């Protein structure tokens, strides 16, 4: 977005500052890099001091503590919001703080959210639906980016791939997996262009791929034969809990596994907004082969 400010010599165009939350995550860091590439003033919300790319201002703050956000929001017009928690507890207070200083929120949601459902099919989609509802009620101008399964989630398989060549887990239904770079590319267009207020954009990759097909694509990228081995949900839960994952996270990740239907949803939204087609999962795997070697 570009603002217009009066000066003694006339009107001056001023590019408004954008705050990115989740700035060190798979999507957030891509959003930041792309905003820098197009010379947009960008600020990263960080929980502690760390080194950021040149041209990025880091300001400490914590979404779990709304009272820490004031400084990060100063002079900001738009927030790219990734909600990092499993419930909406505290979200209304955060949106209240944001709404005092900011005009617009672009929220990263889930393609699994169904507008016609009284309750969503699993806890993660319910979380996103609840967040969307809170944002709509906040008075902020909003845009929702409902993304399908994100390709970088497969990094969680890296240790199994390196040590055993077998990925064991519940066979969650196939979806049109999307590259985080494509989510970021859409996010940047929405953040800097007009015309997206009140819009819900559903973002997917170009083809539906199963977990077994994702594992195969990674194997091709690293030049090793890999396979996917389906594990019963109860055994997967036991192993995840033994690894020290929080019980609430385990239940959220496993909800619907084995019962969720295959999704045939494929949209052209990435290309419509960015001008470039969405990347296939095999392209993401080839570009990130080093993560699995």
Question: pLDDT tens for residues 16-31?
Answer: 799 999 998 999 999 9
| Of the candidates 31, 44, 60, the residue with the CA atom closest to the CA atom of residue 185 | 31
Q: What does the pLDDT average to over 266-273?
A: 98
Torsional sign, CA 38, 152, 265, 255: negative
> Which domains, from first to last, does the chain contain?
2-291 (3.40.50.720)
For residue 9, is pLDDT > 70? no
Contact 264, 125 (CB under 8 A): no
Return the percent helix, strand and coil in the chain, to nearest 5: 40, 20, 40
Query: Nearest to residue 17, comparing CAs of 70, 58, 73?
Result: 73
* Residue 36 near residue 55, CB atoms below 8 Å: yes
Dihedral over alpha carbons 174, 179, 184, 185 (to 10 degrees): -110
What is the rounded distance in angstroms from the CA atom of residue 50 to the CA atom of residue 277? 34
The mean pLDDT of the chain is: 91
pLDDT at 259: 63
Per-residue model confidence (pLDDT) at position 15: 57
């Amino acid at each position: 977005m570009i603002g217009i400010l009066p000066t003694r010599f006339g009107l001056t165009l001023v590019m408004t500052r954008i705050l990115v939350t989740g700035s060190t995550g798979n999507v957030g860091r891509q959003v930041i890099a792309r905003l820098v590439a197009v010379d947009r003033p960008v600020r990263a919300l960080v929980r502690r001091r760390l080194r950021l790319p040149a041209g990025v201002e880091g300001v400490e703050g914590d979404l779990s503590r709304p009272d820490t956000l004031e400084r990060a929001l100063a002079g900001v017009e738009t927030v790219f919001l990734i909600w990092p928690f499993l419930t909406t507890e505290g979200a209304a207070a955060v949106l209240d703080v944001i709404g005092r200083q900011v005009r617009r929120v672009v929220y990263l949601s889930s393609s699994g959210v169904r507008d016609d459902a009284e309750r969503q099919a699993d806890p993660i989609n319910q979380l996103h639906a609840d967040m969307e509802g809170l944002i709509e009620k906040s008075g902020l101008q909003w845009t929702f980016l409902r993304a399908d399964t994100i390709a970088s989630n497969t990094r969680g398989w890296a240790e199994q791939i390196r040590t055993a060549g077998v990925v064991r887990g519940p066979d969650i239904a196939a979806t049109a997996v999307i590259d985080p770079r494509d989510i970021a590319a859409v996010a940047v267009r929405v953040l800097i262009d007009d015309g997206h207020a009140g819009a819900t954009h559903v973002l997917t990759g170009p083809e539906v791929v199963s977990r077994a097909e994702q594992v195969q694509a990674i194997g091709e990228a690293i030049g090793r034969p890999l396979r996917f081995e389906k594990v019963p949900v109860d055994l997967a839960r036991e192993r995840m809990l033994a690894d020290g994952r929080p019980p609430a996270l385990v239940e959220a990740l496993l909800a619907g596994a084995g019962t969720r239907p295959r999704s045939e949803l494929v949209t052209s939204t990435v290309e419509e907004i960015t001008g470039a087609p969405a990347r296939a999962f095999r392209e993401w795997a080839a570009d990130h082969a080093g993560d699995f070697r």
